[in-house]
Amino acid sequence: MPHKIFIAEDDPGIRRELTALLERYGYLCEAPQEFSRTAEQALASGAHLVLLDLNLPRQDGLQICRELRRQSDLPIIVVTSRDTELDELMSIDLGADDFLAKPYSAQILLARVARLLQRTYPSGPAPALTCGALSLDLGRGTAALNGQEVQLTRNEARILQRLMAEPGRIVSRAALMDALWQTEAFVDDNTLTVNVARLRRRLEELGLTGALATRRGQGYQLCL
């Protein structure tokens, strides 16, 4: 079973964006629209992790964080526009596992979520991503199509993960470089070119010839 994320966010637009982003990466989501019993809802949801805004109606996010930690060890990432050092310190003191100020990079949020889930549930399922018939197993580092499977390097998997998050859209080289930087290894422009070429060959092994297109001066596009 995939991991489930409970999203405590009162802004409808941000709530929809977070839900869509996380679901594209294989997570299940529950995102309430009413916040009088947020801690109780989160605990009853069966979620594996909570994304918690501090500026919620009816009840302050810090109070919710305190209630959650008093009753459980459920992982909590505070995601908020309240970005002072005091807000971060109070969140951590009250039991939050991580703190991320808005605006934030979607890829950084995903990395934080994946890292905390892996740390908390080491034997649990790794996030998986699908795009049409193509699937990417992030835990095993493999891509599969119609029963065929190829092994990917960490960099190849990072690039494919980023492209699959926006199928059919052109993803800039800068965005892919940012995804590769999360490996904590130095990445230069030539490294990206080499890894994209290798990933293209891996996809061709699955029968996806022409699926990874180069758009000169713009970036790369996954065409499935």
Q: What is the pLDDT of residues 207-221, one digit of tens each?
A: 999 999 999 989 999
pLDDT tens digits, 135-167: 888 766 789 999 899 988 878 888 998 898 888
pLDDT value of position 187: 57
The pair of structure tokens assigned to 211 is 């699926």
As a whole number of angstroms, the distance between CA 37 and CA 147 comes to 45
In the predicted model, residues of the chain with pLDDT beneath 50 are 183-185
Stated pTM of the model: 0.59
Phi-psi domain of 207 (left: phi exceeds 0; alpha: psi -120 through 50; beta: other): left
